Structure 1
Amino acid sequence: MEEFGKDVLEGLTAKPKYLSSKYIYDAEGDKIFQRIMKMPEYYLTNCEFEILETYKDELMHHFSGNGDSFELVELGAGDGLKTKILLQHFLKKNVRFSYVPIDISHNILTKLEADILDRWPQMNVEVLHGEYFSALESLQEDKENKVILLLGSNIGNFPKKEALNFLNDIRNRMNDEDQLLIGFDLKKDPDVILQAYSDPHGHSEAFSKNVLARINRELGGQFDLNRFRHFQHYHPVEGNCESFLISSEKQEVRIEALGVAIHFDKSEPIHVEISQKYDFTGIKALLSAAGLKIKQSFQDERGYFSDVLCEINV
Structure 2
Amino acid sequence: MNSQFAADVDAGLSKSSKTLPSKYFYDKKGDELFMQIMALPEYYLTRAELEIFTEQTPLLIDALGMNKSQHFELIEMGAGDGSKTKFLLKGLLDQGYDFDYLPIDISGNVLEHLVETLQPELLSLSIKAQQGDYFEILKTLKDSHAPKVVLFLGSNIGNQSDEQAAAFMYSLGENLAPGDRVVLGADLIKPVDVVLPAYNDSQGVTKAFNLNLLTRINRELSGDFDVSQFEHAPEYTEEEGIAKSFIQSKVDQTVTIGAIGQTYSFKAGEKVHVEISRKYNKKVLAGILKDTDFNLVNTLKDSKAYYGDFILERSASES
Please indicate the TM-score interval, normalised by the length of the shorter structure.
Answer: over 0.9
User: Gaps (5+ residues) in structure 1?
Assistant: none
Partner Cα distance (1:256, 1:129) in 2: 34
Partner Cα distance (2:153, 2:280) in 1: 15
Partner residue in 1 for 2:14: 13
Structure 1 residues 256 and 123: alpha-carbon distance in aligned structure 2, compared to 1, 3 A threshold? farther
Q: TM-score, normalised by structure 1?
A: 0.93
- Structure 2 contact 251–268 (Cα < 8 Å) conserved: yes
Deviation at 1:64, TM superposition (A): 6.1
Deviation at 1:261, TM superposition (A): 2.2
- Structure 2 contact 218–224 (Cα < 8 Å) conserved: yes
Partner residue in 1 for 2:170: 168
Partner residue in 2 for 1:24: 25
Greater CA deviation, 70-79 or 212-221? 212-221
2:303 is equivalent to residue 301 of structure 1: yes
Q: TM-score, normalised by structure 2?
A: 0.91
- Structure 1 contact 25–105 (Cα < 8 Å) conserved: no
- Structure 2 contact 161–278 (Cα < 8 Å) conserved: yes
Deviation at 1:173, TM superposition (A): 1.5
Partner residue in 2 for 1:144: 146
- Structure 1 contact 186–303 (Cα < 8 Å) conserved: yes
Deviation at 1:106, TM superposition (A): 4.5
Give the RMSD, CA atoms, in angstroms: 1.9
Partner residue in 2 for 1:52: 53
User: Gaps (5+ residues) in structure 2?
Assistant: none
Partner Cα distance (2:273, 2:134) in 1: 23
Partner Cα distance (2:305, 2:259) in 1: 47
Structure 1 residues 295 and 243: alpha-carbon distance in aligned structure 2, compared to 1, 3 A threshold? same
- Structure 2 contact 246–274 (Cα < 8 Å) conserved: yes
Deviation at 1:105, TM superposition (A): 4.4
Structure 1 residues 100 and 221: alpha-carbon distance in aligned structure 2, compared to 1, 3 A threshold? farther
Partner Cα distance (1:271, 1:282) in 2: 22
- Which of 233, 236, 251 is 1:234 aligned to? 236
Partner Cα distance (2:164, 2:19) in 1: 16
Partner residue in 2 for 1:39: 40
Partner residue in 1 for 2:212: 210
Deviation at 1:80, TM superposition (A): 1.8
The percent of aligned pairs where both chains have the same amino acid is: 39
Q: How does 1:1-314 map to 2 (within 5 A)?
A: 1-63=2-64, 65-67=66-68, 68-314=70-316
Secondary structure (helix, strand or coil) at the match of 1:168 reads helix
Secondary structure (helix, strand or coil) at the match of 2:81 reads coil
**Count of residue pairs brought into register by the alignment:** 314
